[in-house]
Amino acid sequence: MNNLISAVLLAAVAFLVCEAGNPCCSEPCQNRGVCTALGSDDYECDCTRTGFYGQNCTTPEFLTWIKVTLKPSPNTVHYLLTHFKGFWNIVNNISFLRDFIMRYVLTSRSHFIDSPPTYNSDYGYKSWEAYSNLSYYTRALPPVSDDCPTPMGVVGKNELPDAKLLAEKLLLRRQFIPDPQGTSLMFGFFAQHFTHQFFKSDLKKGPAFTLAKGHGVDLSHIYGDNLERQHKLRLFKEGKLKYQMLDSEMYPPTVKDAGVEMHYPPHVPEADRFAVGHEAFGLVPGLMMYATIWLREHNRVCDVLKEVHPDWDDERLFQTTRLILIGETIKIVIEDYVQHLSGYHFKLKFDPELLFNQRFQYQNRIASEFNTLYHWHPLMPDSFHIEAREYSYKEFVFNNTVVTEHGINNLVESFSKQIAGRVAGGRNVPGPVMYVSIKSIEHSRQMRYQSLNAYRKRFSMKPYTSFTDLTGETEMAAILEELYGHVDAVELYPGLLVEKPRQNAIFGETMVEMGAPFSLKGLMGNPICSPEYWKPSTFGGKVGFDIVNSASLQKLVCNNVRGPCPVASFHVPDVKDTGSMIINSSTSHSGDINPTVILKKRTTEL
């Protein structure tokens, strides 16, 4: 009965919209059905392989009805996985149960992602161009048609709210809100460093285009995104990358010595202009810290391989080491990084063999929505605490001396102890990086993203029915209603940041349920995870395979620092003690420079 009422209402809305031009603007086709306009007064829904049928794909087939009836909600699943620790400890120690659950996690998440890709920002229908042109980000949902009555389709106001006003009212930090999940700055800088190998918008062409050629984990942020840059960063001896020694420790070479382009403002001395794979990683010391760790790891692994394979030439040592570091990265991301984000008591596992008998494609295309949702600037604090010193944003940006003076050991220890900000819940973007949030809103509009609720439906979540349902409170809900007029008109990026967080969590439901499929498909779709690649010989034999299979954040750090190894963690040791130190710092540093303004044309994603 409810399905019948829903179908009637959808048909009625579609009929009313017909007079405005495009009947598909009302999104009449449900459950991932594809709408095709038949002139200006009719449409048809393609329900093929959706598990539903009917005019608007709203009537479930029998097996679909059983599946939908029995399937728990995402919040229920999240609750089960983040509670009952004793039960999950048992599961984690029973191999076949752990493997079964991990396989389900991987397949259920990755099946949300279209492979091969379907749309881009210029083609809201299937086209060869959308598939073959790798200079575009792909799209999870097609853009809102430019002939729709409103920017969000058929609901909401005729004009979207001013981006700056929207950001100031709902996103700008009033007071630092620490992450209740206990996320550390070590996590925040890892997120930034890791993702910018594949989030690299070509803003000369527009935000719908990417400069990243690999569309996944290729470590181009370490090795450069083209062969010319890679060659300039290589030593061409024993497979190693160029480096310099400072106080008996290895650091990246200078721009002068490497001869590669990096983005530094004029005031940075030549000796402090380090050269690494990503041209913008001189922006903050947290990025250069990770760049230095991975440089050391590459050269360390080269030494390990050289000892086992003394007959190998420079090229083979380099290429095999790169594959090993890709494997290390994916294992660390799944078992340390995603594990922390999830908050699960179930222990995630990186094991490509779990998918060898599954329907799975070893390819990936980065979606623009994934790029947009990953703008987690609320993670950043008001100031940065390293050893006994506090750095403002003005003192921190473009300052590689922070790295060399404190050393990698002290940076790791300090960033592991300082708590990051909560991402969901609104009003936690630091003033110095507000510019990036405003640009994110503007870029989303250029690409004509569908609404937050449209994406919730796309990823099998129930759409929010009211503004208070979205925010979990009344003040921001009232502002949203004033700005947008209808909950179905709330934009994706602002909606993700003001969405009510899950209990004691860093994110809201939509961020997790939408982001996880992109993440896991991108990681497990990597070529090294395929049956043809995932074998010891790919990684130089048992020694290289063991490096991949035993990788962890802690081990990565310990293998590449001098002296006692600091605790390296994505979780602060004590949330309350650490958080109190940060909360007492100034709330916005509004007088600091905006670090993105200097490079705003090239680094708006940082």
Of 238, 200, 372, the residue nearest 314 (C-alpha):
238
As given in the structure block, the two tokens for residue 231 are: 């060659």
The Cα 574–Cα 360 span in angstroms is 40
**Computed from CA positions of residues 337, 469, 457, 134, in that sequence, does the dihedral angle turn out positive or negative?**
negative
* Chain centre distance of CA 285: 20
Residue of 78, 196, 340, 375 marked catalytic: 196
Phi, psi values for residue 139, rounded to 5°: -135, 140
Q: At what angle do helices 314-332 and 542-549 cross, to 10 degrees?
A: 30
Quick one: which H or E segment has residue 542? helix 542-549
Q: At what angle do helices 285-308 and 542-549 cross, to 10 degrees?
A: 150
First to last CA, the chain: 49
As given in the structure block, the two tokens for residue 379 are: 């993670």
Query: Residue 68 contacts by C-beta under 8 Å, 6 or more apart in sequence?
Result: 60
The Cα 155–Cα 417 span in angstroms is 46
**Cβ proximity of 41 and 23 under 8 Å:** yes
DSSP code of residue 37: E
Residue of 123, 337, 374, 435 marked catalytic: 374
Phi, psi values for residue 403, rounded to 5°: -70, -50
445 CB neighbour count, 10 Å cutoff: 16
Burial label, 94 (beta-carbon count in 10 A; 0-12, 13-18, 19+): exposed
* Chain centre distance of CA 565: 29
The Cα 220–Cα 229 span in angstroms is 10
The Cα 409–Cα 292 span in angstroms is 12
The Cα 114–Cα 518 span in angstroms is 10
Across 246-265, b (16+ Cβ under 10 Å) vs e yields eeebbbbbbbeebebebbbe
Burial label, 332 (beta-carbon count in 10 A; 0-12, 13-18, 19+): buried
Burial label, 270 (beta-carbon count in 10 A; 0-12, 13-18, 19+): exposed
Furthest-apart CA pair in the chain: how many Å? 75
As given in the structure block, the two tokens for residue 216 are: 């996944």
374 is catalytic: yes
196 is catalytic: yes
Of 419, 424, 473, the residue nearest 584 (C-alpha):
419
Q: Residues with catalytic annotation? A: 196, 374
